[in-house]
Amino acid sequence: FLQVGRSTESPIDFVVTDTISGSPNNDETQITQSTISRFACRIVCERSPPYTARIFAAGFDSSKNIFLGEKAAKWKNPDGHMDGLTTNGVLVMHPKGGFTEESKPGVWREISVCGDVYTLRETRSAQQRGKLVENETNVLQDGSLIDLCGATLLWRTADGLFHTPTQKHIEALRQEINAARPQCPVGLNTLAFPSINRKDVVEEKQPWAYLSCGHVHGYHNWGHRSDTEANERECPMCRTIGPYVPLWLGCEAGFYVDAGPPTHAFTPCGHVCSEKSAKYWSQIPLPHGTHAFHAACPFCATQLSGEHNCIKLIFQGPID
């Protein structure tokens, strides 16, 4: 039994705060008004195999009562028991095909206090609940996404994580790509992805890429197209104009759907991972605000943009 929410009171086991898009560390940006419920949801796991986990909206407070805000939708079901939704809702999406290379996005649903499944409300906090979806359940699967309106959680099972690449594997991929000594095609200097611990400071040898074409370079200060668009640069290799950013290896192993080499970058943040992982996350619509959905980088939550939300990187090997 696990309770999730914004409250730091003792009944909450897992305290969540609002995710700030594109922020590597959330210290600098304070959320003034959180949209996450204090007692957002609870997850109940069976103690015997197959250890089924079910999700329910809202949580029990210290007096063992279900805690719902004043504005939360509540109703009585035909059989007489009460049910309700949290103020901004607990949304769940189960990907089709689990969390694998072949997975496709599923449909977002809302979960009630009693664990029933509903279609989405018109907006996150609308008083009118959606339609009951009778043939779907609140059972979490490997790769299920839980959205609490301000933070999205990824549910992984022990079996799913057993097949996921480890931190060691990602480090081996980093060393392998660096051992191939990719070069800047203009400066001819050798490039290297910084160690995963150094993920805030741009290093001298760090690879940079033009995100419209994927050509990888070292840092240089030319190619600006205009004073107004600070990050619109012209690639010296193919003359394509677009953002020019440092590349970072995505280091959270749980987000990878396969163990492939880091060949693709999300646009516009420059986080790099395997092709299948990049393509998977680039097509997942994550809830945003009260009624919008957009794809986001799993590593930094930046809203994705560009033609396909990610780009294949073109590295130049050493000339010698």
Residue where a domain terminates, one of 163, 198, 223: 163
**31 pLDDT above the threshold of 80:** no
6 and 112 share one domain: yes
The pLDDT-based confidence of 291 (bands split at 50, 70, 90) is confident
Report whether pLDDT(28) > 50. no
Q: What φ, ψ does residue 259 adopt, rounded to 5°?
A: -110, 25
> pLDDT class for 55, splitting at 50, 70, 90?
very high
Query: Does any domain span residue 203?
Result: yes
Question: Does residue 319 form part of some domain?
Answer: no
Q: pLDDT tens across 178-196, in order? A: 999 999 998 889 999 998 7
Q: 38 and 128 share a domain?
A: yes
Q: Cβ distance 254 to 164 under 8 Å?
A: yes
Peptide linkage before 49 cis (omega within 30 of 0):
no
CA distances from 120 to 76, 104, 234, 237 (A): 19, 20, 43, 47
Question: Same structural domain for residues 270 and 306?
Answer: yes
Rounded Cα–Cα distance for residues 172 and 311 (Å):
22
pLDDT of 22 reads: 66
Q: Who wins on pLDDT, 142 or 163? A: 142
Domain that holds residue 88: 1-163
Nearest to 274 by CA among 148, 174, 161: 174
User: Is 317 within the bounds of a domain?
Assistant: no
Residues 159 and 36 in one domain: yes
The two three-digit tokens of residue 229, written as one number? 């668009």
Number of domains in the chain: 2
Q: Are residues 119 and 233 in the same domain?
A: no
236 and 224 in contact (C-beta within 8 Å)?
no
Q: Are residues 10 and 154 in the same domain?
A: yes
For the chain, the residue count is 320
How many whole angstroms from its chain centre is CA 136?
A: 24
Residue 286 lies in a domain: yes
Helices (H), the chain: 158-162, 167-179, 275-282
Q: What is the pLDDT of residues 252-266, one digit of tens each?
A: 999 999 999 999 999
| Higher pLDDT among residues 115 and 21, named by residue | 115
- Per the structure block, which two tokens stand in for 39? 């007692």
Question: pLDDT at residue 23 above 90?
Answer: no
Examine the fold and report which residue of 147, 163, 179 is the final residue of a domain before the chain moves on: 163
- Which amino acid, 250? G
Residues 123 and 172 in one domain: no
* pLDDT recorded at residue 199: 62
Contact between 122 and 128 under an 8 Å Cβ cutoff? The reply is yes
Q: Out of 139, 163, 187, pick the residue that ends a domain.
A: 163
